[in-house]
């Protein structure tokens, strides 16, 4: 299980120091939520901020695009040093084309699904995806409670991947991850857990990350 603290819950006035803190604390990735104020009601940061942060950590950048027209971001994200990029199935039409566009720029490609979006929407794409991001809260805001039926969705995704001999497919979950539910998430098939307030909401980030990893 890899832990990817989400900068959405960090202190925006001290992002460089926040990055260094979670790197020292044992984080595996950094999760960056890019929101445009249209696909979701909130607005966060864009590619210039991501590029500026790149020099402050060696951790891989996992960029989650909660935006309309995600394809316009791919080139800048590649130049900014992103390692992984996911876009929402609900925000795009030509999914296959976008997955290949991300991969052609040397980044891992993923598709994110809202809680109410069925797995069938991406079933045909599982042979080419690097990862799938299951939203276990409705996107747009941090600190929300985990939606319980997400666990069954993750189990079904794991079974679908196994049936296609895609055991290497990463399953990422985002929303409401805590030490209380991370064990169940791992057993269901999650390989990457995004943790916002469970890490940045704690005074000791190293202890918070260790609490997640020990489960």
CA distance 145 to 134: 14
Rounded-to-integer distance, Cα 214 and Cα 205, Å: 14
CB distance 137 to 114 below 8 Å = no
Nearest to 99 by CA among 90, 88, 111: 111
- Contact (Cβ atoms closer than 8 angstroms) between residue 193 and residue 182: yes
Burial class (CB within 10 angstroms; exposed 0-12, middle 13-18, buried 19+) of 180: exposed
Residue (of 114, 51, 103) closest to 77 by Cα position:
51
Helix (H, G, I), strand (E, B) or coil at 176: coil
Of 28, 62, 170, 174, which is the active-site residue?
174
Tell me which of 21, 28, 33, 36 is the catalytic residue. 33
Q: Has 180 been annotated as catalytic?
A: no
- The reply to whether 33 belongs to the active site is yes
What CA–CA distance (Å, rounded) separates 24 from 70? Answer: 32
In the three-class reduction of DSSP (H, G, I as helix; E, B as strand; rest coil), residue 124 is classed as: helix
Residues with catalytic function:
33, 174
């Amino acid at each position: 299980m890899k832990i990817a603290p989400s900068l959405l819950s960090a202190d925006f006035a001290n992002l460089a120091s926040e990055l260094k803190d979670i790197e020292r604390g044992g984080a595996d990735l950094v999760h960056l939520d890019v929101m445009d104020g249209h696909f979701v009601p909130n607005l966060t940061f864009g590619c210039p901020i991501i590029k500026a942060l790149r020099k402050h950590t060696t951790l891989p950048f996992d960029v989650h695009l909660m935006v309309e027209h995600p394809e316009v971001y791919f080139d800048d994200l590649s130049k900014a040093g992103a390692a992984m990029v996911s876009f929402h199935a609900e925000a795009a039409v030509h999914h296959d084309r976008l997955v290949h566009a991300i991969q052609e720029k040397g980044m891992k490609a993923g598709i994110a699904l809202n809680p109410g979006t069925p797995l069938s929407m991406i079933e045909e794409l599982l042979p080419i995806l690097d990862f799938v991001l299951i939203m276990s809260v409705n996107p747009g805001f941090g600190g929300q409670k985990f939606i319980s039926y997400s666990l069954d969705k993750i189990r079904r995704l794991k079974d679908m991947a196994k049936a296609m001999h895609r055991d290497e497919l990463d399953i990422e979950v985002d929303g409401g991850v805590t030490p209380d539910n991370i064990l169940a998430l791992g057993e269901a098939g999650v390989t990457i857990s995004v943790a916002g307030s469970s890490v940045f909401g704690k005074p000791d980030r190293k202890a918070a990350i260790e609490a997640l990893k020990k489960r």
